Every structure is written in structure tokens, then in C-alpha cells.
């Protein structure tokens, strides 16, 4: 089911946690809210769940207005499924009882069938009689997910669901969780400060800053066409270059980029991603390699450009450059660098 | 509930109207009911400024005896508790594990029961009769039954930190004993001080021991004025003075507790490796604590048992024994239901509402902790009496509050609510808030969350609170004595009455019952801390 937020506001004392947010999560869609810690994204989630009441604005779940600034429906009547950062599994209940916790209005047979089906969905049917403390971190998370999915909620809300897992486990579980959510046909809203997580998982990405959404778009669009310099720098690594607009192009130290909408003579900044630059060995090149960060499948170079600018370049790790080497740096032929400032 | 703060922020279209917060109201009501009696205490100085004048002779004696007691018990418990804690933490000897736990057993021995034992054997043997009935005797009694407070806190501090620092000190050339004295003990000073403050609060609150030994402390003077002269205002003024002393100790304990956390908080604490003792030293290390326990717990239990058997055989047991046993059980059971319920409401209120009023109310509701029962008794009488007369004027029902068990329950609530609250609250604090929200998200309303999440998770805490309240009410003497309805004797009163009439054998059976019940929470405490140290 869809979820709609219109001009939602929430303050705590003088802190404007959520400042006029509009967001539309469509049926079956997986949307990630990405922002630095303290940007208000968890508050946004709690407003939808009903643990906080908005000061103003309207929140609609499906066809029902659940909060409109004058009154707020209690969380237990909203049909939301929440997955908490610490999972919040009931320590005194076995896995099955945890999953069945939200099914008390169903008959016993239906309850058993639903919990069995949901546990199968997360591949934990064989651990149904365990207690939460007997499970691994990844298993606990799948139980939390199963518990949230079992009552067939209108929307699943996930609050930094991978943050308490080991880095090695995170990528694997991310994929798994995505598959489970898609299998269940769930509408989901995920909150995270991890850009990689948001980029890989979401159908759409909402970038949040200081309580407001600065950009809502497909992950690839947010990455390749950030609306401003902050969004460009927050989502991935980037070189921000100053330049002058002339005849639909912006001329920078590293070359010219198409910028049709900018009037001639304006000073602007463009953002170019490190993988959109290439290097060539050249004794009389325009840059020198000052640092090399070997990452396995690729390498990140930090260069000092002749205009005293630091430039970062990311290349596959097939042909390695040495620190101190003189190189010529330029954009790859198809490079596009959006104007961000 | 966060709306209160939100509303102070910017002006929004269609704000959520401020709703009255039920929890704030509930906690505030409990706090007022519990704290009001204590707030009226100082009023006695305004109502009758000269009331104490009639008893001018009592005051210097009370101040002197109390000061002597505080000094003696302070030094006694500090020395004994610290020595024992250091012994079990830094040395290893045969039976150390068992002795380490057994050393808390004197907590189950009320001062007046130990006094009964001492008076009884002194009477039988004719020894120490004069020495016992003196401030010195009271100091010995209190030191022997109250040292566990210092021992427990000191032990925790020694175990939490000290290992590395003692090794560092020994590396600098100090002997083990000097390293303990110059590093571990100063490091544990806040904890030890906190323990002494708790022990002194207990000693100041005591009435039975000092009364039986004829030491004219504050509590004894209050009793005298209350029952001997029926001068309510003078009693209230004495009580106020005692409250000031107790609150000072409470403040010392709070500050010491804060410092103790600071002192042990830095760095990763590691207990010192205990030194294995051999030969005579090992024998002494085992024998001395055992001898102490034999004197404070073993011998009294055996002697009380023997006297009980004798009294049953000789048929000198008063017929009221069963009545007072029933009264004790009923009172304790009802008090535990009332007090644990109030404590749960308070703890729940604090969890549900973050308002400043709620937090203040909780603090107010628990200030009765450690206040002497005699003080609480004279304090609750004032507002209850006032209410009683208003009720009588309105409905003509007679005095329904002051002459009945209601006054007793009011006093017990003032005195023991903090104990129960501490237990319930710490249990509830261990339940993460996200569990509440997870349950709400899964369709549970507040009541359902309480029944399906909180109660199962805090059942141990509730049980502990119930057990503590139950045994405290069982042993409580002064408040019960001052407020009991006619014919409402309890086991504690039976012990005190028989002992003060030198009927030691008659007092034995009720005393034995009190000690045995009192062992329950001590055993629970030991079991809980054992499981905790295992995990």
C-alpha cells in the first residue's frame, strides 16, 4: 500500500527535526531515506509509525489519514511493520512467538499458518523454537523482519537495519533482505546513513538534510545528477571544479562539459565523479600522483593538479601508477559533469 | 507526551492540542500522598514554637547519645566491613567462596532480635549485664548487624578495580598489605563511605535496640514524648531534627555513590589476584569470620530455637502469639501488594512520561527512604488526622484513618516505597524502549504491552521488590508500635514487649520467625549476584 507525506513538520524544542517533508512511497516500492546522523530521518520514520505526532502536515497510509496535525492515530492501529536498529526482539519469547506476536487477532490455525509461511520466507523455519539470544546477528535481523512482515502490514519501516551487523555480513544480508521484501510484495521505507546501502537497495532514494528532503529520485539519477554540491559530496566521492559558462558549456581545469541551461559568463561549479577521469603517463603531464589507495578491484588516486587543486581519480586495478609519477589527467570521452553550484 | 516541548517551539498551522498527561497526574498524586507527611514535619516549629521547652532535659541527652552512637557505629562498621571485604577480595583461604557470601547473613538479623539474644544470655549467665545496657552495648550490636552494608559496597569496589593499581604499587616496592592500605582502600573510599552512611541511617532509624538497652537516642525520646507525655508537637520537632540528620547522611551516601562510580569508572577494572594464605594465617582467615558469623547468626539462631522449644514445652507462649503471627503476615502481605503496586505505577510513569513534573514527583515519592519509622509514624498522623476529622464532619463516620491499619499502610508506604521502586525501576530500565514500540507497532495497546512484554520481563524485579517489602514490614517495629490499632500486635511488637519485660524465652519464637523470614531476601540477593557474576 502507498504512503504519502504532505508538508510534515516536527520540532523538539528549538530543534526542527522534520521541516516540511513531502514524500510519496508507491505501492510495492522500496524507498531509502539517506542522510547524515541527526538529519531527522529517524524522526520521519517514527512519525509514520506513530511513535511521534507531527506538529503539522498530513500522513496517509493507504487511503487512511493517520495523522494530520490535529490528531494522530495510535501506532497499534496503523498497520505498519517496523524493524528496529537493535531488532527489539522480545527476549522472553521464542522465535515463533515473536513472529506471532502481532497476529493475536487471527485464529490459532491462521496464526500458525502465517508464522510458518513467514519463517519460511526468511528461511528460519528450523529455528522457530529458539530464543533470540541463541541466534546470530543476521538471524535475529531476519526474525525481526519476519515479525514485521507476518501481520501483512501496509508498509514496512526499517531503521538502520544493517548498522549493528559486521561489515562482512552487511552486503550479503542487504541482498537477502531486499529479496525477502520483494518476495513479500511489501512496500518499504528504509532509513540509513550508509550511501552504498541506499544505492544498492532502493528503487528510489530520498536524500535528507537538516530535516528536509533535498532530492528524491532513482539511485542512479541521484548519483549522476545531484541537485547541489552537498548532495554530490554526500552520495559518493566527487571532484567539484569551478568553471565559466560559455556557449552551453562550462570550461574547467580538466576540460569542458555540456551545461546547456547556464547563461554565458556565469561562474559555476561542476561535479565530476572520480571514475569519470582517466590517467595517462606523461612526463610533462598536468598532475602528479601524491597518494594511492589500493582497494582490490579498483584504486583511488589522489593527484596534485598543476593549478594546485587536489583531484581524485578512480581506476580499475589493472595498470597501477606509482606515487610521485607525473601523469596527464582528463575526463573520459562520455563524461558528464552536472552543474552543482 | 513530547507535545509539551513541541508546543513551546515555533507556531505551526493546526498544532496538536496539548492533552493532559495521565502519567504525570498519577505520579504527582503518589508523590504528594507519600511526601506530604514529611513536608508537614517542620510546621510543628511554627505551630508550637516552645513545645520542646517542656522536655528541655531530654534534648541534650538525645543529641549526646545519638552522636556517640553515630561515631561508634561509624568507626565500628567501617573497620569491620573494610577488613572483611579486603580479606575476601585480596586473600585466598579455605572456604573463602562460602564465607564471602555468608558474611552478608547478619543483614537478616534485626538489631532488637540480636539484643534479645544478648540480654537473654547475659541474664542467664550474669555476665556483662551492665556493659550491655549502655551506648557501648548498642554500638557493639549495631556494628555486628550493620557491617554488611560497608562490606558489600567495599567488596564491590575492591572487585571492580584495584588489581592493576595494586600491582603497580607493589612494583614500586610496597608490600602487599601496604599496597592494599595505601592504594585499594583509598580508591574504595567513596564506596566505603556510602556503606557507612547506609549503616548509620539504619542505626538512627532503630528503635528496638536502643529502647531495650535504655540508650536515650532521638527515636527513644520521640517514643517517650509521644506515649509518655502525649505531646505531639514536641515529638514532631524531635522527629524533624532526626530527619535533618538522616537527610544529611542520605546526601553523603548519594555523593559518595556518585564518586564511587567515578572512581571505578575509569579504565577497565580488574580484580586483584587473591594471595593464597598458608598455615596459621589461613586458619585465622577462615576462623575469624566464622567466629563472627557464629556470634551474630549461628548462636542466636540456636539459642532462640532452644528458648522457643522451652517456651512451647513450658507452655509459657502467650496465646496471642498466633494472633500476632497472623497480623504480621497479613500486614506484610497487604503492604507488599499496595507498595509494589505504587512502585510499579511510579516506575511506569517515569518510563511513559518524560515531563519534568514526573521526574520531580518520582524523586519526591522516594524521599522517605531510610527515614526512621518513628519519624514516619508521627509524620503521617498529622495529615491523616486532619483528613479524618474532615471526613467525620462530612459523613459522621468516626475516625476511620488514624485508628486503623490505614495509618500503618500509609507509614509503610512512605518508608518502603523507595526500596520497592528501586527494584521495579531498575528492572523496567533494563527493558529497551524499542520493545514497547515494537509491540505497539504489532498492534498491542498499552495494556497489552504491559501484560505481554513488561510483566514477563520484570517478574524477577517485582518478586524482589515484593520480598523486600514483605520482610521489612515483618521486622518493622517503631512505626507499627506507634500506629497499630488496639489489639493489633505483630511479631516484632511481641518480641519487643516480651524482651522489655525480660521474658526472653517468650520472645524467642516470634524472633526466630522474623529472622527466618528475613533470610529469604538475603538468600535471593546472594543467588542473584551469583548468577550475575557467572554470566
Nearest chain B residue to A11 by CA: give it.
B6
pLDDT value at A128 more than 90: yes
Chain A residues with CB inside 8 Å of B442's CB?
76, 81, 101-102, 147-148, 151
Cα–Cα distances in Å, from B530 out to A218, A258, B390? 56, 73, 52
Question: Which residue in chain B has the smallest CA separation from A144?
Answer: B438
Q: Which of A16, A72, A91 has the CB atom closest to B16's CB atom?
A: A72
Chains A & B: contacts with CB separation below 8 Å: 103
* Whether residue B151 has pLDDT greater than 90: yes
pLDDT band of B502, cuts 50, 70, 90:
confident
Scanning the structure block, which residue is given the C-alpha cell 520542646?
B52
Across A39-62, average pLDDT: 92
Q: CA of B461, closest CA in chain A: separation in Å?
A: 15
Interface test with A, best of B21, B442, B446, B447 (most A CBs within 10 A): B442
Q: CB of A265 within 8 Å of any CB in chain B?
A: no
Collapse the DSSP code of B226 into the 3-class scheme (helix H, G, I; strand E, B; otherwise coil) and give the result: helix
- For residue B454, the distance in angstroms to the closest alpha carbon of chain A comes to 10
Q: Which of A187-191, A325-329, B313-317, B398-402 has the lowest mean pLDDT?
A: B398-402
The residue with greater pLDDT, A59 or B235, is A59
A chain contacts of residue B13, beta-carbon cutoff 8 Å: 56, 69
Structure confidence at residue B294 as a pLDDT band (50, 70, 90): very high
- What pLDDT is recorded for position B20? 53
The confidence score (pLDDT) of residue B28 equals 87
Find out whether A99 and A129 touch, Cβ atoms under 8 Å: no
Contacts of B437 in chain A (CB under 8 A): 49, 51, 75, 82, 84, 88
Chain B hits for A81, CB-CB cut-off 8 Å, are 441-442
Chain A residues whose CB is inside 8 A of the B445 CB are: 74, 76
From the list B5, B8, B438, the residue facing A84 with the nearest CB is B438
- Report d(CA A137, CA A139) in Å as an integer: 5
With a CB cutoff of 8 Å and minimum separation 6, the contacts of B296 are: B105, B106, B109, B114, B144, B145
pLDDT band at B461 (very low <50, low <70, confident <90, very high): confident
Q: What is the mean pLDDT of residues B44-62?
A: 77
Mean pLDDT (whole number) for B488-505:
87
- Which of A15, A88, A141, A157 is the best substitution to test chain B (most B C-beta atoms within 10 A)? A88
- CATH of region B21-41+57-534, choose from 3.40.50.300, 3.90.1170.50, 1.10.287.110, 1.10.3720.10: 1.10.3720.10
Q: What is the pLDDT of residue A230?
A: 92
Confidence of residue A109 (pLDDT cuts 50, 70, 90): very high
What pLDDT shows up at residue B16?
40
* Closest CB to A90 among B3, B14, B453: B453
What pLDDT does residue A248 have?
A: 84
In this prediction, residue B161 carries a pLDDT of: 63
How close B457 gets to chain A, by Cα (Å)? 7
Q: What is the pLDDT of residue A1?
A: 81
What is the arithmetic mean of pLDDT over B352-362?
80
Q: d(Cα B24, Cα B346) in Å, to the nearest integer?
A: 10
Under the banding of pLDDT at 50, 70 and 90, the label for residue A157 is very high
Which grid cell is B179? 599496597
Taking the CA of residue B434 and the nearest CA in chain A, the distance in Å comes to 6
Q: Which residue has the higher pLDDT, A170 or B150?
A: B150
Question: Would you call A10 an interface residue with chain B, using a CB distance cutoff of 8 Å?
Answer: yes
Sorted by where each begins, the domain ranges of chain B are 21-41+57-534
List the single residue in B with minimal CA-CA distance to A89. Answer: B435
Min Cα distance A89 → chain B (Å) is 7
Interface test with A, best of B431, B438, B447, B460 (most A CBs within 10 A): B438
Task: Check B12 against A56: CB less than 8 A apart.
Answer: yes
> What is the pLDDT, as a whole number, of residue A279?
92
Alpha helices in B161-273 (DSSP H): 163-171, 176-179, 185-187, 189-205, 208-213, 218-223, 232-265
Lowest mean pLDDT segment, chosen from A75-89, B157-171, B182-196, B287-301: B157-171
Per-chain mean pLDDT for chain B: 83
The reported pLDDT for the residue numbered B82 is 94
- Write out the DSSP string of B117-137: HHHHHHHHH--SHHHHSSHHH
CA–CA separation, A88 and B302 (whole Å): 52
Q: What are the beta bridge partners of residue A21?
A: A8
Of B9, B10, B441, the CB nearest to A80: B441
Minimum CA–CA partner of B1 in chain A = A52
pLDDT in tens, B227-280: 777 777 888 888 888 888 888 887 887 787 776 655 544 444 566 778 888 889
Q: What is the predicted pLDDT for the residue at A192? A: 92
Do residue A13 and residue B8 have CB atoms under 8 angstroms apart? yes
Yes or no, beta carbons of B14 and A101 under 8 Å apart:
no
For residue B51, pLDDT over 80 is answered with no
B-chain CB neighbours of A18 within 8 Å are none
- Helix (H) or strand (E) holding A95, with range, is helix A95-100
For A71, name the nearest residue in chain B, comparing CA atoms only: B16
Pick from A77-81, A229-233, B77-81, B508-512 the range whose average pLDDT is largest.
B77-81
Average pLDDT over residues B299-326: 87
Q: Tell me how far apart the alpha carbons of residues B255 and B249 are, in angstroms, rounded to a whole number.
A: 10
pLDDT above 50 (res B9)? no
Kindly identify which residue of chain A lies nearest to residue B446, measuring between CA atoms: A76
Question: What is the full DSSP assignment across B298-345?
Answer: IHHHHHHHHHHHHHHHTT-S-THHHHHHHHHHHHHHHHHHHHHHHHHH
Spatial neighbors of B205 by CB under 8 A, at least 6 apart, are: B219, B246, B370, B371, B372, B373, B478
* A199/chain B closest Cα distance in angstroms: 27
Q: What are the beta bridge partners of residue B227?
A: none
Q: Which residues of B touch A85 (CB under 8 A)?
A: 434
CA B395 – CA B389 distance, rounded (Å): 10
Position B15 scores a pLDDT of 38
Contacts of B457 in chain A (CB under 8 A): 91-92
pLDDT of residue B261: 59
Preferred mutation among A15, A16, A17, A53 to probe B, highest tally of B CBs within 10 A: A53
- Per-residue confidence (pLDDT) for residue B162, from 0 to 100: 62
- Position B270 scores a pLDDT of 63
All residues at 6 or more sequence positions from B391 whose CB lies less than 8 Å from its CB, including other chains: B397, B400, B401
- Confidence grade of residue B19 (pLDDT, cut at 50, 70, 90): low
Q: Which residue of B has its CA nearest to A78?
A: B441
Residue A57 is predicted with a pLDDT of 93
Ranges A178-192, B118-132, B341-355, most confident: A178-192
Residue with the larger pLDDT of the pair B7 and A76:
A76
Q: Which residues of B495-519 are buried (b: 16+ CB within 10 A; e: fewer)?
A: bbbbbbeebbbbbbbbbbbbbebbb
Nearest CA in chain A to B453: A90
User: What's the whole-number mean pLDDT along residues A7-35?
Assistant: 92
Residue numbers of A between 73 and 92 with CB closer than 8 Å to B: 74-78, 80-82, 84-86, 88-92
> Is residue B27 a contact partner of residue B345, using CB atoms and an 8 Å limit?
yes
* Range with the poorest average pLDDT among A291-305, B257-271, B405-419, B453-467: B257-271
Q: Above 80 in pLDDT, residue B370? A: no
ipTM: 0.80
What is the per-residue pLDDT for A113? 92
pLDDT grade for B530, boundaries at 50, 70 and 90: low
Does residue B526 surpass a pLDDT of 80?
A: no
Interface test with B, best of A92, A152, A158 (most B CBs within 10 A): A92
CA distances to A172, B31, B213, B328, B480 from B208, in Å? 69, 29, 8, 17, 12
Instruction: Return the closest-CA partner of residue B200 out of B243, B258, B250.
Output: B250
Amino acid at each position: 500500500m502507498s504512503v504519502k507525506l504532505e508538508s510534515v513538520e516536527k520540532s523538539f524544542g528549538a530543534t526542527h527535526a522534520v521541516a516540511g517533508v513531502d514524500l510519496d512511497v508507491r505501492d510495492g516500492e522500496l524507498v531509502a531515506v539517506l542522510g547524515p546522523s541527526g538529519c531527522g530521518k529517524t524522526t520521519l520514520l517514527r512519525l509514520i509509525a506513530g511513535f511521534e505526532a507531527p506538529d503539522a502536515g498530513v500522513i496517509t497510509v493507504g487511503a487512511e489519514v493517520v495523522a494530520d496535525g490535529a490528531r494522530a492515530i495510535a501506532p497499534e492501529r496503523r498497520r505498519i511493520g517496523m524493524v528496529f536498529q537493535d531488532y527489539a526482539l522480545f527476549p522472553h519469547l521464542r522465535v515463533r512467538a515473536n513472529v506471532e506476536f502481532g497476529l493475536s487477532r487471527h485464529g490459532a490455525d491462521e496464526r500458525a499458518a502465517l508464522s510458518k509461511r513467514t519463517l519460511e520466507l526468511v528461511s528460519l523455519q528450523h529455528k522457530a523454537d529458539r530464543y533470540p539470544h541463541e541466534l546470530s546477528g543476521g538471524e535475529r535481523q531476519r526474525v525481526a523482519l519476519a515479525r514485521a512482515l507476518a501481520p501483512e502490514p501496509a508498509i514496512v519501516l526499517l531503521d538502520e537495519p544493517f548498522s549493528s551487523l559486521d561489515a562482512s555480513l552487511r552486503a550479503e544480508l542487504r541482498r537477502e533482505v531486499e529479496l525477502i521484501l520483494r518476495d513479500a510484495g511489501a512496500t518499504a521505507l528504509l532509513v540509513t546513513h550508509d550511501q552504498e546501502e541506499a544505492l544498492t537497495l532502493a528503487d528510489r532514494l530520498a536524500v535528507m538534510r537538516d530535516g528536509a528532503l533535498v532530492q528524491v529520485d532513482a539511485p542512479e539519477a541521484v548519483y549522476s545528477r545531484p541537485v547541489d554540491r552537498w548532495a554530490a559530496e554526500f552520495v559518493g566521492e566527487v571532484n567539484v571544479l569551478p568553471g565559466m559558462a560559455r556557449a552551453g558549456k562550462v570550461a574547467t581545469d580538466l576540460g569542458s562539459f555540456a551545461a546547456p541551461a547556464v547563461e554565458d559568463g556565469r561562474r559555476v561549479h561542476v561535479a565530476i565523479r572520480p571514475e569519470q577521469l582517466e590517467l595517462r603517463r606523461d612526463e610533462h603531464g598536468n598532475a602528479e600522483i601524491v597518494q594511492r589507495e589500493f582497494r582490490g578491484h579498483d584504486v583511488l588516486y589522489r593527484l596534485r593538479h598543476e593549478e594546485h587543486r587536489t583531484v581524485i581519480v578512480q581506476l580499475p586495478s589493472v595498470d597501477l601508477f606509482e606515487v610521485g609519477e607525473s601523469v596527464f589527467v582528463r575526463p573520459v570521452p562520455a563524461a558528464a559533469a552536472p552543474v552543482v553550484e | 507526551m513530547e507535545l509539551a516541548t513541541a508546543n513551546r517551539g515555533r507556531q505551526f498551522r493546526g498544532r496538536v492540542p496539548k492533552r493532559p498527561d495521565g502519567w504525570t497526574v498519577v505520579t504527582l498524586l503518589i508523590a504528594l500522598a507519600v511526601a506530604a507527611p514529611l513536608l508537614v514535619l517542620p510546621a510543628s516549629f511554627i505551630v508550637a514554637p516552645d513545645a520542646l521547652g517542656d522536655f528541655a532535659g531530654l534534648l541534650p541527652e538525645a543529641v549526646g547519645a545519638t552522636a556517640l552512637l553515630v561515631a561508634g557505629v561509624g568507626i565500628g562498621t567501617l573497620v569491620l566491613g573494610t577488613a572483611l571485604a579486603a580479606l575476601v577480595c585480596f586473600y585466598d583461604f579455605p572456604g573463602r567462596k562460602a564465607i564471602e557470601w555468608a558474611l552478608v547473613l547478619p543483614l537478616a538479623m534485626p538489631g532488637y532480635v540480636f539484643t534479645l539474644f544478648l540480654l537473654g544470655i547475659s541474664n542467664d549467665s550474669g555476665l556483662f549485664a551492665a556493659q550491655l545496657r549502655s551506648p557501648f552495648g548498642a554500638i557493639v550490636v549495631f556494628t555486628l548487624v550493620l557491617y554488611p552494608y560497608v562490606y558489600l559496597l567495599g567488596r564491590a569496589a575492591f572487585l571492580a578495580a584495584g588489581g592493576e593499581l595494586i600491582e603497580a604499587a607493589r612494583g614500586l616496592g610496597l608490600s602487599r598489605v601496604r599496597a592494599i592500605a595505601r592504594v585499594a582502600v583509598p580508591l574504595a573510599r567513596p564506596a566505603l563511605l556510602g556503606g557507612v552512611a547506609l549503616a548509620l541511617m539504619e542505626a538512627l532509624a532503630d528503635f528496638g535496640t536502643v529502647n531495650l538497652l535504655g540508650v536515650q537516642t532521638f527515636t527513644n525520646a520521640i517514643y517517650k514524648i509521644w506515649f509518655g507525655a502525649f505531646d505531639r508537637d514536641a515529638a514532631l520537632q524531635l522527629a524533624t531534627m532526626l530527619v535533618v540528620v538522616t537527610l544529611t547522611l542520605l546526601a553523603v551516601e548519594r555523593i559518595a555513590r556518585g564518586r564511587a562510580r567515578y572512581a571505578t569508572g575509569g579504565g577497565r577494572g580488574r580484580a586483584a589476584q587473591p594471595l593464597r594464605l598458608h598455615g596459621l594465617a589461613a586458619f585465622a582467615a577462615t576462623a575469624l569470620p566464622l567466629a563472627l558469623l557464629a556470634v551474630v547468626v549461628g548462636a542466636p539462631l540456636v539459642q532462640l530455637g532452644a528458648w522457643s522449644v522451652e517456651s512451647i514445652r513450658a507452655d509459657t507462649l502467650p496465646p496471642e502469639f498466633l494472633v500476632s503471627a497472623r497480623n504480621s503476615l497479613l500486614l506484610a502481605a497487604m503492604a507488599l501488594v499496595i507498595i509494589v503496586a505504587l512502585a510499579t505505577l511510579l516506575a511506569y510513569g517515569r518510563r511513559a512520561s518524560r515531563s519534568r513534573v514526573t521526574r520531580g514527583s518520582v524523586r519526591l515519592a522516594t524521599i522517605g527512604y531510610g527515614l526512621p519509622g518513628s519519624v514516619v509514624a508521627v509524620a503521617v498522623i498529622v495529615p491523616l488526622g486532619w483528613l479524618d476529622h474532615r471526613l467525620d464532619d462530612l459523613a459522621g463516620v468516626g475516625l476511620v484513618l488514624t485508628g486503623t491499619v490505614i495509618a500503618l499502610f500509609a507509614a509503610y508506604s512512605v518508608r518502603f516505597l523507595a526500596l520497592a521502586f528501586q527494584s521495579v525501576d531498575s528492572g523496567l530500565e533494563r527493558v529497551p524502549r524499542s520493545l514497547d514500540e515494537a509491540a505497539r507497532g504489532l498492534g498491542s495497546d498499552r495494556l497489552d504491552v504491559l501484560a505481554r512484554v513488561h510483566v514477563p520481563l520484570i517478574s524477577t524485579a517485582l518478586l524482589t521488590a515484593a520480598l523486600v517489602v514483605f520482610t521489612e514490614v515483618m521486622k518493622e517495629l517503631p512505626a507499627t508500635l506507634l500506629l497499630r490499632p488496639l489489639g493489633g500486635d505483630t511479631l516484632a511488637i511481641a518480641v519487643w514487649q516480651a524482651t522489655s519485660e525480660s521474658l526472653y524465652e517468650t520472645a524467642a519464637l516470634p524472633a526466630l520467625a522474623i529472622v527466618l523470614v528475613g533470610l529469604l531476601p538475603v538468600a535471593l540477593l546472594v543467588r542473584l549476584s551469583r548468577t550475575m557474576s557467572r554470566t
